[in-house]
Amino acid sequence: MPVAVTASVLATGLAACGTVEQLSAAQKVSKAFDKVGDGKSAGFALSIDATPEQILAFAKATGEKGATGGKGAGDGVDEKSAKALSGLTIAVAVSADKPLKDIEAFKEAKGSAANKDLTLDTSVRVSYVLSDRSGTPLLEYRQVDAKGYLHVDAKGLVKLIGEDPSQVDSVSKDLPADLGPVKDALAGKWVSLDLQELADAAKKDDGKKAAPSGAPTADPEAAKQLLNSLKDVLGRTVTYEDKGKKDGAEHIWMSAPARQLVDEVFKAVKPVADKFPQQFKKFPSQAPSDVPDRKVGVDLYLKDGAFSSATFDLAQLESKVEPGVNFPVKLAFNRSAPDVQAPADAVKLTSDDLMKAVLGLAAGPGGLTPGASGTATTATPLTDAQLKELAKLGVPESQARAFNALGMSFEDIKEISQPS
């Protein structure tokens, strides 16, 4: 949905001052994205379209030797890693009982929707899937009727990063008996989470702390000012070119001078960034200086007047790469994605199970890792002063004591509780 809104803004901005040819192409793009919410379901898939050979060439071209002769970023990609990255896809599917454009969360005109907690919105069903180049799901999460469902191919994920899949069996074997659902998850079974239970637990914990001040909201006038500024910038910098048809789809090239676009967008956002505290946290003090001073673009493809896919070459953003070095990524859209359904026979994972599992990972070797006696490593008990300090960081006493019982020290808990 953000992609659709962005493209519509681009098209609207260009329509204000484009040539006849550009205007025609921009109108096609605008109308194509307007159709995104017409159906009751939609799916987006972002994938690495680069071949293993392209990934290796890109890594070699962008890698740098450090001042002491050490390895750069590009030197860390080998053939095995490149093969694992190639074709990696993140897919998102959304379905509802009415057209998506009529769902409150998707109505751009409803500014208040951005400040609402939509976690328990049962009118929308969503799924997220991470899959490898063969299409095998490695990680999948679904949200249906205020319940979350998780499926993990733990061995596949471990193998993807070049580690030994047998480590999963070792971790599962060492888990305490009361974490059966976590073992089921590691074994590849679907597990379910009651989102209402998690929300209630969060509210209960919040009730133990001092009442927080209301979350800051954006000024509607500031939002209008920002939108108009962005439309003006994009209208002056972005151009569209109709490239005809390719494989039955209309091909449109959308481009802009990279450095100029980044500089002008920065100047448009900077004056109002502090009025959008949630959207622009830690906004930089100056625009990026390493953006190449050349035109970059994206290939858009439209079918039957609707958005079909977009391809962008990441190599365009690198000033060092030579012609012939490419790293394409692809965003594909499916107007008739299957309805998201709850999986059958999912094992329930409680909030306590989730907390123990997550904190065990966060604690590392000192957490859920059994000692010689088969019990978790102990940590120095927390003092009253430490409990109060942790409470100020948002960790209720009950959680702090639970973390401590799992083997986490005061410093361990404090570290993972620091605001990001």
Identify the structural domains of the chain with CATH numbers, from first to last. 2-49+87-153+214-334 (2.50.20), 351-420 (no CATH)
295-340 pLDDT, tens digit each: 999 999 998 888 899 999 999 988 778 888 999 999 999 887 888 9
Say how many C-beta atoms besides its own lie within 10 A of residue 307's C-beta. 24
- Asked whether residue 18 carries a pLDDT value surpassing 60, the answer given is no
Distances (CA, A) of 105 to 111, 114, 149, 273, 358: 10, 7, 21, 23, 30
Contact yes or no for 191/149 (Cβ under 8 A): yes
Contacts of the segment 115-118: beta carbons below 8 A, 24+ positions apart? 115/215, 115/217, 117/199
The region of weakest confidence among 33-42, 221-230, 246-255, 319-328 is 33-42
233-290 pLDDT, tens digit each: 888 898 889 999 988 899 999 999 999 999 999 998 888 887 776 667 778 888 888 8
What's the CA gap between 316 and 261, in Å, rounded?
Answer: 14
Nearest to 100 by CA among 36, 150, 143: 36
What's the CA gap between 403 and 395, in Å, rounded?
Answer: 10
Strand boundaries in 52-190, DSSP class E = 89-96, 124-131, 137-144, 147-152
Q: Check residue 55 and report its DSSP letter.
A: H
Which position has the token pair 């639970």? 402
pLDDT at 330: 95
Establish how many alpha carbons lie within 13 A of residue 148's alpha carbon, considering only the half-sphere containing its beta carbon. 17
Report helix angle 351-363 to 397-405, nearest 10. 60
132-184 pLDDT, tens digit each: 988 999 999 999 988 899 999 999 988 887 788 888 888 888 777 777 888 88
- Asked whether residue 19 carries a pLDDT value surpassing 80, the answer given is no
What's the CA gap between 261 and 79, in Å, rounded?
Answer: 35
Which position has the token pair 């959680």? 399
Task: Pick 218 or 32 by higher pLDDT.
Answer: 32
Contact yes or no for 318/72 (Cβ under 8 A): no
What is the pTM (predicted TM-score) of this model? 0.70
286-296 pLDDT, tens digit each: 888 888 889 99
Look over the chain and give the mean of its residue pLDDT values, rounded to a whole number: 77
Task: Pick 117 or 222 by higher pLDDT.
Answer: 222
Task: Pick 56 or 373 by higher pLDDT.
Answer: 56
- Asked whether residue 216 carries a pLDDT value surpassing 60, the answer given is no
Widest CA span in the chain: 78
pLDDT at 375: 43
The strand order across the sheet containing 89-96 reads 239-246, 249-257, 295-303, 306-313, 328-334, 41-48, 89-96, 124-131, 137-144, 147-152, 191-194, 347-348
What's the CA gap between 309 and 249, in Å, rounded?
Answer: 10
- Asked whether residue 111 carries a pLDDT value surpassing 60, the answer given is no
What's the CA gap between 198 and 200, in Å, rounded?
Answer: 5
Question: Which of helix, strand or coil describes residue 145?
Answer: coil
Contact yes or no for 190/127 (Cβ under 8 A): no
Residue 373's pLDDT band, with cuts at 50, 70 and 90, is very low
Distances (CA, A) of 295 to 40, 183, 317: 37, 51, 10
